[in-house]
């Protein structure tokens, strides 16, 4: 109940303060998820307080938002935002949402540079089954090595 209230208050407050035309991308992502849930057999959307976190990927001193769909639930659907390939993760940088499909994720600091580590489906690394990770850093867009 607390997490549903958090998501509802966040969305309601964002709509009132910003107006529907000026919702942040993270607010739009949450609102879209809420609408998708409601449209599937009248489901009730839930998001934990950890659904949106902030990290400074660009190094400009302003944090970017990370929206983690693994923190969402819908009463009428077991896996609305993910499956065996992973769960959706969005990173909003400079007004643009970058979308990833991940099993787990973490942000680490390497000499002051924020690195986004993604545990992804093994098919992104090779044709064999096993662990697969991507490391992304910001440099006028996310850059990665595979």
Q: In what order do the strands lie in the sheet with 142-145?
A: 104-110, 113-119, 133-138, 142-145
Give the model's pLDDT for residue 146: 53
Say what angle helices 25-39 and 2-18 make with each other, to 10 degrees: 120
Helix (H, G, I), strand (E, B) or coil at 56: coil
The pLDDT tens digits for 113-126 are 999 999 998 887 87
- Half-sphere exposure of 87 toward its Cβ, with a 13 Å CA cutoff? 16
Decide: 117 and 135 in contact? Cβ < 8 Å. yes
Strand partners, 47: 72
pTM score, two decimals?
0.78
Average pLDDT of the chain is 83
Least confident of 13-17, 21-25, 59-63: 13-17
């Amino acid at each position: 109940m607390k997490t549903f209230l958090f998501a509802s208050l966040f969305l309601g407050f964002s709509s009132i303060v910003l107006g529907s035309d000026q919702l942040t991308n993270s607010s739009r992502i949450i609102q879209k998820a809420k609408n998708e849930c409601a449209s599937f057999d009248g489901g009730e959307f839930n998001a934990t307080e950890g659904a949106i976190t902030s990290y400074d990927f660009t190094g400009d001193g302003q944090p970017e938002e990370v929206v983690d769909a693994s923190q969402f639930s819908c009463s009428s659907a077991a896996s609305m935002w993910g499956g065996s390939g992973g769960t959706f993760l969005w990173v909003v940088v400079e007004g643009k949402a970058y979308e990833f499909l991940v099993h787990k994720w973490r942000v680490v600091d390497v000499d002051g540079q924020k690195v986004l580590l993604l545990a992804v489906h093994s098919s992104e690394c090779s044709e064999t089954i096993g662990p697969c990770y991507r490391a992304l850093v910001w440099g006028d867009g996310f850059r990665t090595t595979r």
